[in-house]
Amino acid sequence: MNQQDLLNIKGEMTAQNILGTDSGGRDNFSRLLYAGRISLSIGITSTIGMLLIGITVGVISGYFGGIVDTLLMRITEFVMLFPFLIFAIVLNAALGDKIKNPYGSAIILVLVIIVLSWGGIARLVRGKVLQEKENEYFLAAKSIGTPTYKIILKHLLPNILSVVIVQATLLFAGMIVVESGLSFLGFGISKAIPSWGNMLSDAQEGDVISGKPWIWMPPAIMITLTILSINFVGEGLKDAFNPRGRR
């Protein structure tokens, strides 16, 4: 993957290097496959972390209401107003040279995404919980003294799951775009490990973008196809969970 052939820098496509080589003489095809694993792993991990925090905050806020709801929503609004891109750039500048493990940059990026991006799902879940609280099954469960944890786990969560799943697909696609964009700008994944964003950053060289499309076009195509595929799945799930929305 990172094996360099300095005699074949930016080499064209051959039987040995079916997608050519990059500006470091490394095989583009093997790097493209490994980069996909990195980009998708960051997207999945970030999405799971955001869902865990967002669902927890949203359910607690919507279920208990009152001062708990007010406090959690103020925290959520503060997080949503925080400038994510600026924070990521500043953190990269402050810690970039101090991180010895190349995968450390990926871990930091995931943590930054999770900490600053869960607000949207929290507000969505809270709104759905407030709707469910008006339904008869919820009022009946409360009236017979069903414990809070049972109401949340057996009644609320199953009924908001469809909304969460659809939102998760959109978040997943968005996180791949975020990682690719930050890595392209040099504020994401360390150059020591490939990601689709890192591979795209080679297109900043004039001779590459104009005359060597085999270097930057494969990661661009993979990002586009992945985002479209995830969005199609999300739209399909949305229609499946909302039969009334079909024509």
The residue among 16, 11, 4, 18 whose CA lies nearest residue 218 is 18
Q: Is residue 96 part of a domain?
A: yes
- The whole-angstrom separation of Cα 220 and Cα 198 is 11
Predicted local distance difference test score (pLDDT) of residue 246:
45
Taking 70 as the pLDDT cut, the residues of the chain under it are 1-8, 10-13, 93, 95-102, 203, 206, 242-247
| Beta carbons within 10 angstroms of residue 196's beta carbon | 27
Largest CA distance in the chain: 77
The CA R_g of the chain, rounded to the nearest whole Å, is 22
- The whole-angstrom separation of Cα 127 and Cα 54 is 12
DSSP code of residue 189: S
- Structural domain of 155: 28-239
Q: Is residue 246 part of a domain?
A: no
Give how many domains the chain has, as a whole number: 1
Q: Is residue 5 part of a domain?
A: no
Q: Is residue 22 part of a domain?
A: no
Q: Is residue 46 part of a domain?
A: yes
**φ/ψ bin of 65: left (φ > 0), alpha (ψ from -120 to 50), beta (otherwise):** left
Predicted local distance difference test score (pLDDT) of residue 245:
44
- The whole-angstrom separation of Cα 20 and Cα 26 is 8
Report the chain's terminal Cα–Cα distance, integer Å: 49
- For 92, the token pair is 């990269």
Asked if 42 and 107 count as a contact pair (C-beta separation under 8 A), the reply is no
- For 74, the token pair is 């103020």
Predicted local distance difference test score (pLDDT) of residue 98:
61
Distances (CA, A) of 216 to 22, 153, 186, 204: 9, 47, 16, 9
Q: Is residue 21 part of a domain?
A: no
Q: Is residue 10 part of a domain?
A: no
14 phi, psi to nearest 5 deg: -135, 180
Q: Is residue 50 part of a domain?
A: yes
The domain spanning residue 207 has which CATH number?
Answer: 1.10.3720.10
Predicted local distance difference test score (pLDDT) of residue 70:
93
Predicted local distance difference test score (pLDDT) of residue 124:
93
